[in-house]
Structure 1
Amino acid sequence: MSPRTAPADVAPRRRVPRAERERQIVDAAVAVFGEHGYAGASMEDVADRVGVTKPVLYTHFGSKEGLLLATVARARAELLGVLAAAAETAGTPRDMLRDGALAFFAYLDPAAPAWQLLCTEAGIADDALEEIRTQQTDFIAGLLAAQVPDAPQARLTGWAQVIVGAAERLAVWRGQDETVTVEQATDYLMDVVWTGLAGLGEQA
């Protein structure tokens, strides 16, 4: 009696590479956290979205908090990417600041999952969020250094801290008042920040 064989029309199940599976899980976590918030989301919600079991999530990320940190890390890279792209295409220092602010506020739109990750989970991912602030400060200080090469590093960092802090508070305000548009938030930032930065060449 010959051994039983699988039907010829049943394809073998493809093994998903680890990197691809982790990308799928983070995609699902971003969506689930964005819809329900971190506290309201469950690992089962994420697993169902991916089509895997909960143990698979724990194997890859260790815990629900570990998964949150992975989503924040991705947001950190994406945010730097949109700012860099905006700065690269800007023709003047003013355009660089304005285009960067537009990109920042568009990325942190209250309707987008990134808003939930970066603006409402501060109590859970404090260190990761502070790393994002540091990344943004360093990036902006680098842009300012190219425009004002003789300025002391401390002054460049201070200017960048002001910009990052103001942009973050405006983003939080947009989350509280949906009538404030990306363009309005950018205009308000420029009203205050560019007034001082416009004279950097003379101050340095």
Structure 2
Amino acid sequence: MTEVKQPRLPAVERRAAIVAAALEVFGSGSYSGSTTAGIARAACVSEPIIYRHFPSKRELWFACLDEAWRELRAAIEQKVVAMNDPSGLPDVDIAEQSPWANPLLPNLWLQGVTEAAEDEEIQARVRAHVREVHDFVADLMVEHQAAGAIPADRNPDAEAWLFLAGGLLRSFADRLGGLLGSAEFAAIGRERRRWLSGG
């Protein structure tokens, strides 16, 4: 049987493909249990190709953290647009509309907090990352308050932390299985929206 060779991709596309494969590997496993050899297999490249783009597994994990945040930010922005124009929302399960429907980012945060706890560089990156997400969400809350969509007595800083706590809860449920189902998450989402909208 003749081996089919992968087409040679430009460096930027190859790097993106490696990050996508690494997100799958890290997201379905653990930081310590994920290897660059396993990620190389998932990306259909040789392990040296990984090291051409990333000097270490840690740097690749950092790239995954950034990509997971980019994806979550896009989901949040899409949700904000949908909130401003509810007629554009498709008729889907409310739990699946949550930006936390995919708990990949909080899964990565938990890896950074638990499995890589002795790595000060990872700890610093996770701290900065969590703060960046918090600040982004708090700023959105302030904008919605200014537009009258959120009552003025709601604390944007506290609400942003509660948003992040929701992601961690989703991550626990994802990792433990059977903790909370879609009905419970839908109920939590409804209550959060009711509180934030003042209604």
- Output the TM-score relative to the length of structure 2: 0.70
TM-superposed deviation, 1:183: 4.2
Within 2, Cα distance between the matches of 1:67 and 1:33? 10
TM-superposed deviation, 1:182: 3.5
Question: Among residues 134, 142, 159, which one is paired with 1:145 in the alignment?
Answer: 142
Partners of 1:141 and 1:157 within 8 A in 2: yes
RMSD: 3.5
Residue identity opposite 1:171 in structure 2:
R
Structure 1 pair 85/122, CA: closer, same or farther in 2 (3 Å)? same
Within 2, Cα distance between the matches of 1:189 and 1:173? 16
Unaligned 5+ runs, structure 2: 1-5, 87-93, 117-121
Unaligned 5+ runs, structure 1: 1-12, 94-98
Structure 1, residues 85-132: CA drift from partner, whole Å, max 9, x if none? 011011489xxxxx7994223121xxxx65643443434343343344
Number of the residue aligned with 1:88:
81
Number of the residue aligned with 1:120:
111
Number of the residue aligned with 1:162:
162
Alignment length (residue pairs): 178
Within 2, Cα distance between the matches of 1:197 and 1:101? 19
Does structure 1 residue 17 correspond to structure 2 residue 10? yes
Structure 1, residues 37-66: CA drift from partner, whole Å, max 9, x if none? 221121111222333322221121100111
Number of the residue aligned with 1:9:
none
Number of the residue aligned with 2:36:
43
Residue identity opposite 1:107 in structure 2:
N
Number of the residue aligned with 1:103:
98
Secondary structure of the structure 1 residue equivalent to 2:178: coil
Partners of 2:23 and 2:64 within 8 A in 1: yes
Number of the residue aligned with 2:59:
66
Within 1, Cα distance between the matches of 2:195 and 2:44? 52
Number of the residue aligned with 1:185:
185
Within 2, Cα distance between the matches of 1:52 and 1:67? 15
Structure 1 pair 187/130, CA: closer, same or farther in 2 (3 Å)? farther
Rg larger for: 1
Residue identity opposite 1:181 in structure 2:
G
TM-superposed deviation, 1:80: 0.5
Partners of 2:69 and 2:105 within 8 A in 1: no
Partners of 1:73 and 1:128 within 8 A in 2: no
Structure 1 pair 86/100, CA: closer, same or farther in 2 (3 Å)? farther
Secondary structure of the structure 2 residue equivalent to 1:65: helix
Within 2, Cα distance between the matches of 1:24 and 1:92? 34
Does structure 1 residue 26 correspond to structure 2 residue 19? yes
Within 1, Cα distance between the matches of 2:131 and 2:196? 20
TM-superposed deviation, 1:15: 4.2
Number of the residue aligned with 2:91:
none
Question: Among residues 124, 133, 145, which one is paired with 1:136 in the alignment?
Answer: 133
